[in-house]
C-alpha cells in the first residue's frame, strides 16, 4: 500500500489508511505539468506519491513567487478542502505520480474518521509554520542566509542530513526556480551559490546537490528545524 511508506499517515490506524487509500486515484504526469492555475475553480486534491511540485503566485508586474514546495508525501493543494477557488497555481517540478481525491470524498472521510481530519489539519498547520518561516526569510534575511536556509529546510524535509555532516540530495530546482522561492533574481542566486561553493559548503553537479558542511550551512542560515515539527510525525512513525 502506497500510503504506508509516508510518515504523514503514520498516525492513522490500518483501517483508516486503507479507507483513505481506496479513495485515491492514481495519475502519472510528466515534468512541468500544470495541475492547477491561479484562480482556478477546482475540487480535486493532489497528493504527491512521487516527484516534486510547487505552488506559485504572480505579482502584477508578472514576476513569480513560489509560495510552497511539495515533496513526495506532501499534499499539493490542501486548501481545496476549504475553498472552491484556489489562489495559487500548482505545477510539477519533476515527473511524478499523483494520488488524487475529490474534495467531497476527502471531507466525508474526515467526518467518518476524526483521525483523518486531524491529519489534514496537522498538515495545514505545518504548512503554515513553513510559510511563516519563509516570511521571516524573505523579510529579514540576506540572500546568502535565505539560500542556505532553504537548502537546510529541503535536506531536513527529505530526511537527509539529520545528524551527519555531509549529504547528497536530489534538488530538481533550476536556479530560476530557486530565485522564485527566495525572492531573488536568477543571476544573484547563481552568484550566491558560487559563494557557498567557494566556501566549501556545497557542490552542485546538475540536479544533484552535495552538502559538504551541513553544520556550516545551518550556522549561516540560523536554521533550527523545530519549525518543521517533524518530531511528532517521527514519534508516530516509531510508535507504528
Partner DNA sequence: CGTTAAGTTGAAGGCGCTCAACCGACGTGG
Partner DNA sequence: CCACGTCGGTTGAGCGCCTTCAACTTAACG
Assess contact for 197 and 213: CB atoms under 8 A.
Answer: no
Of 133 and 188, CB closest to DNA = 188
CA 66 – CA 137 distance, rounded (Å): 13
Stated as kind and residue range, the H or E segment containing 89 is: strand 89-92
Q: Which residue has the cell 544533484?
A: 208
CB atoms inside a 10 Å sphere around CB 111: 9
Does position 137 interact with DNA (CB under 7 A)? The reply is: no
Q: By CB under 7 A, which span of 5-13, 21-29, 71-79, 187-195 interacts with DNA?
A: 187-195
Of 164 and 232, CB closest to its own copies = 232
With CB under 7 A as the contact rule, the residue among 69, 80, 193, 202 that binds DNA is: 193
Give the 3-state secondary structure of residue 153. helix
Does position 206 interact with DNA (CB under 7 A)? The reply is: yes
Torsion angle of the four alpha carbons 152, 227, 174, 168, in this order, in degrees rounded to the nearest 10: 30
Least Cβ distance, residue 225 to DNA (angstroms): 23
Does position 183 interact with DNA (CB under 7 A)? The reply is: yes
Least Cβ distance, residue 124 to its own copies (angstroms): 5
Give the 3-state secondary structure of residue 202. strand
Least Cβ distance, residue 122 to its own copies (angstroms): 5
Of 18 and 195, CB closest to DNA = 195
Least Cβ distance, residue 40 to DNA (angstroms): 23
CA 113 – CA 47 distance, rounded (Å): 19
**Binds 206, which of DNA, its own copies, none (CB < 5 to 8 A, cut-off by type)?**
DNA
Least Cβ distance, residue 228 to its own copies (angstroms): 10
The C-alpha angle 227, 233, 238, rounded to 5 degrees, equals 135
Question: Alpha-carbon Rg of the chain, whole angstroms?
Answer: 18
DSSP 39: T
Does position 172 interact with DNA (CB under 7 A)? The reply is: no
Least Cβ distance, residue 115 to its own copies (angstroms): 11
- Per-residue cell: 166: 555531509
Q: Where does this chain bind its own copies (CB under 8 A)?
A: 39, 55, 57, 59-61, 63-65, 67-68, 78-79, 81-83, 85, 87-88, 111, 114, 117, 120-122, 124-129, 131-136, 138-141, 145, 182-183, 222, 226-227, 229, 232
- Per-residue cell: 127: 504548512
Question: Which residues on adjacent β-strands are paired with residue 55?
Answer: 68, 90
| Chain contacts with DNA (rule: CB under 7 A) | 142-144, 174-176, 183-188, 190-194, 204, 206
Amino acid at each position: 500500500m502506497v500510503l504506508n511508506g509516508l510518515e504523514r499517515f503514520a498516525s492513522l490506524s490500518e483501517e483508516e489508511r486503507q479507507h483513505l487509500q481506496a479513495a485515491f486515484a492514481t495519475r502519472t504526469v510528466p515534468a512541468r505539468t500544470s495541475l492547477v492555475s491561479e484562480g482556478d475553480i477546482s475540487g480535486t486534491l493532489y497528493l504527491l506519491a512521487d516527484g516534486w511540485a510547487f505552488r506559485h503566485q504572480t505579482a502584477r508586474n508578472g514576476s513569480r513567487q513560489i509560495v510552497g514546495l511539495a515533496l513526495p508525501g506532501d499534499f499539493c493543494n490542501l486548501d481545496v478542502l476549504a475553498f472552491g477557488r484556489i489562489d495559487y497555481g500548482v505545477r510539477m517540478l519533476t515527473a511524478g505520480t499523483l494520488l488524487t481525491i475529490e474534495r467531497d470524498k476527502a471531507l466525508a472521510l474526515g467526518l467518518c474518521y476524526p483521525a483523518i481530519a486531524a491529519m489534514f489539519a496537522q498538515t495545514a498547520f505545518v504548512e503554515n509554520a513553513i510559510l511563516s518561516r519563509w516570511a521571516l526569510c524573505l523579510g529579514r534575511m540576506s540572500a546568502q542566509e535565505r539560500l542556505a536556509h532553504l537548502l537546510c529546510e529541503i535536506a531536513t524535509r527529505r530526511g537527509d542530513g539529520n545528524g551527519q555532516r555531509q549529504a547528497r540530495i536530489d534538488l530538481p530546482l533550476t536556479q530560476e526556480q530557486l530565485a522564485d522561492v527566495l525572492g531573488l533574481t536568477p543571476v544573484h542566486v547563481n552568484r550566491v551559490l558560487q559563494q557557498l561553493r567557494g566556501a566549501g559548503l556545497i557542490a552542485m553537479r546538475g540536479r544533484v546537490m552535495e552538502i559538504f558542511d551541513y553544520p556550516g550551512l545551518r550556522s549561516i542560515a540560523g536554521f533550527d528545524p523545530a519549525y518543521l515539527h517533524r518530531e511528532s510525525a517521527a514519534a508516530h512513525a516509531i510508535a507504528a
